[in-house]
Amino acid sequence: MDTKLAVVIMAAGKGTRMNNPHMAKVMYSINHRPMIDYVVDLAAALKAMKTIVVVGWKKETVIEHFAVGHRRAVFVEQAPQLGTGHAVMQTEQELSSFDGQVLVLSGDVPLLKVATACSLIAHHRAHGACATILTAELPHPAGYGRIIRRSDGSVTRIAEHKDATEEERNIREINSGIYVFNRGCLFEGLKHIKPENAQHEYYLTDVFGYFWRHHLPVHAIKAGDIREIQGINTPEQLEEARRILAHPVS
């Protein structure tokens, strides 16, 4: 990419279902490399001006890994860990003098391709959006937030499964949790979210409510391959990612 881009990688999680309480989730290996390597490599391929990794659980192991590799990344700590919105809040100081787009990724989603990320960013810029969501169409979307669009393709709502109407639950386009924001929109929106949920956490998706209330444009683009958006939450999903990366399909 040849214009201003920063990448934020959320990597603070413990990975409770991975069955090893002593390891940072993003340090689990895929083909002899920690899964977060693939996400940091993606940021480098996009020529990000700044890559910020939000660390938390077993943060020393993540930081030391990148120190040995001499790759450029800035680390900020999320402590305590109060949700995805809270994670991104920790990057505001590092991005205080940055004026461009912020791509938000997860350190446990290692299969996203450079071409898909480039398409997301290009779509965002072409439509003058405040935020753009990477989506996917799933054959069985139960449990995921559904993307509600206008006739012009812009997004008016993310309907969480538990709150969705029957008609909305029939929509198969879902939110992947991968976004690009204009920096100013992102941090202004984060000022207005509250932890009003059962977990008492700050959800990044709540910034979209602020955008819609203020008539700020939100767009979305679908990933061509649903495997690209898959997060690694279990040993079985880790094995599947290993198989996919061992035999990539262009």
DSSP 150: -
Q: Active site residue: 17, 33, 72, 213, which one?
A: 17
Average pLDDT over residues 174-193: 97
User: What is the pLDDT confidence band of residue 249, given thresholds at 50, 70 and 90?
Assistant: low
- Rounded to whole angstroms, the Cα distance separating 25 from 43 reads 19
In this predicted structure, the answer to whether residue 69 has a pLDDT above a threshold of 70 is: no
In this predicted structure, the answer to whether residue 250 has a pLDDT above a threshold of 70 is: no
Our answer to whether residue 17 is catalytic in this structure is: yes
Predicted confidence (pLDDT) per residue in 138-159, tens digit:
999 999 999 999 999 999 999 9
* Cβ–Cβ < 8 Å for 12, 84: no
Q: What pLDDT is recorded for position 55?
A: 97
Nearest to 162 by CA among 175, 139, 143: 143
- Rounded to whole angstroms, the Cα distance separating 98 from 179 reads 17
Predicted confidence (pLDDT) per residue in 224-240, tens digit:
999 999 999 999 999 99
* Cβ–Cβ < 8 Å for 30, 17: no
Q: Which residue has the higher pLDDT, 245 or 5?
A: 5
Residue 208 host element (H or E): helix 206-213
Burial 157-183 (b: 16+ CB within 10 A, else e): bbbeeeebeeebeebebbbbbbbbbbb
Paired tokens of 75: 């680390």
* Side-chain half-sphere exposure of 148, counting CA atoms within 13 A: 15
Average pLDDT over residues 98-121: 97
Q: What pLDDT is recorded for position 204?
A: 97
pTM comes to 0.95
In this predicted structure, the answer to whether residue 48 has a pLDDT above a threshold of 50 is: yes
User: What is the pLDDT confidence band of residue 1, given thresholds at 50, 70 and 90?
Assistant: very low
Out of 3.90.550.10, 3.30.360.10, 3.40.50.1360, 3.20.20.150, the CATH code matching 5-245 is 3.90.550.10
List the chain domain ranges.
Answer: 5-245
Rounded (5°) CA angle 148-102-230: 55
